[in-house]
Structure 1
């Protein structure tokens, strides 16, 4: 079997398995259900993953590396001012949810962190590393905004980045619970007031 086919099968198991695990939770998603969703035999799972925990770790990396790269690119777009980059990025996300007939959000990292962060130090550390990398990207953009006078000179950009990232995760959790995009509009309005001279 060539390496491309092997990689495609692994990617398929990761993608379909992550959907199952997001919907049913870590403990509710059995290996059998994951392989059924991917349409592969059970042996294929253990060919690529040593355990369900190993699968969850690889799925986190597979799903969030492209998202982190898109976030870093958006916040590094030199064609826009730093403040415009941040507000534009979150505005696009809010508009995405507003276009849905019934706004909903299925968050793999959120589901895993609530269920497994304390039970699996490896998963907890991976989730924290992903969230920290996101906050670090935001902090760099906030520092640029500060240098250009778009943010108060006495603002603690690290603390602000952490607060914004946590507030966004909280807003997504509320969206999942209430299926009402208004909470995202509230987030965006507050963000606009937070990021100003």
Structure 2
């Protein structure tokens, strides 16, 4: 890769990383591009060299976030020395830990930006849909593995169970933010164990 291309990729990555840190706290609409560029150490006039519009930037931000999230999720769900049930519960424990930061303000962009940007930007809504769909797909696969290894039992299909679990955890994360309390996540952990017959 030529040096200029590598620098361009690094700068683009720095902008996305800075945006993720800031927007995890403030949301999308409350953050100006100048704030992101200052945090990334990039000159103000160069934003459009890396992104064609704020919409394209938001879409790239979400795609980058979900790529990293799914890599982390894959690491948790791929532990060969654990049953599928243990891997799933380790994933939910990690979710609980990431949502406990900053008085339950969390670090999940799907929680922070989901409702806000879905009405603002169709490309961002579709990036959220694709990313959350991939998460649900991984949950479904692990539930299916649990049915095979006998560590999990479900009353509905693996897909329906995965969808309900994800929706429930997403809602609990929003409630944890509202109440500044982990109680919604603790209750959801209990219900998760019940749904999986653990």
**Is TM-score (shorter-chain normalized) higher than 0.5?**
yes
Q: Aligned to 2:27, which of 25, 28, 31?
A: 25
Q: Which TM-score applies when normalising by structure 2?
A: 0.88
CA gap of 1:11–1:138, structure 2 versus 1, over 3 A, is same
Aligned-residue offset at 1:23:
3.3
- Structure 1 contact 106–176 (Cα < 8 Å) conserved: no
Q: Which TM-score applies when normalising by structure 1?
A: 0.88
CA distance in 2, matches of 1:92, 1:41: 36
CA gap of 1:181–1:154, structure 2 versus 1, over 3 A, is closer
SS of match in other structure, 1:102? helix
Q: How does 1:38-53 map to 2 (within 5 A)?
A: 38-53=40-55
CA distance in 2, matches of 1:102, 1:23: 11
CA distance in 2, matches of 1:86, 1:60: 24
Aligned pair count? 196
Match of 1:142 in 2: 143
CA gap of 1:34–1:72, structure 2 versus 1, over 3 A, is same
Match of 2:10 in 1: 8
Match of 1:62 in 2: 64
CA distance in 1, matches of 2:74, 2:13: 23
CA gap of 1:117–1:15, structure 2 versus 1, over 3 A, is same
Q: How does 1:80-119 map to 2 (within 5 A)?
A: 80-95=82-97, 102-119=103-120
CA distance in 2, matches of 1:188, 1:66: 24
CA gap of 1:136–1:19, structure 2 versus 1, over 3 A, is same
Aligned: 1:155 with 2:156: yes
CA gap of 1:176–1:120, structure 2 versus 1, over 3 A, is same
CA distance in 2, matches of 1:164, 1:143: 14
Aligned-residue offset at 1:39:
2.3
Aligned: 1:194 with 2:195: yes
Match of 1:131 in 2: 132
- Structure 1 contact 116–123 (Cα < 8 Å) conserved: yes
Structure 2: gaps of 5 or more residues: none
CA gap of 1:65–1:77, structure 2 versus 1, over 3 A, is same
Per-residue Cα deviation, 1:47-79 (whole angstroms, up to 9, x for no partner)? 100011111111112222021122123223221
Aligned-residue offset at 1:153:
6.5
- Structure 1 contact 74–85 (Cα < 8 Å) conserved: yes
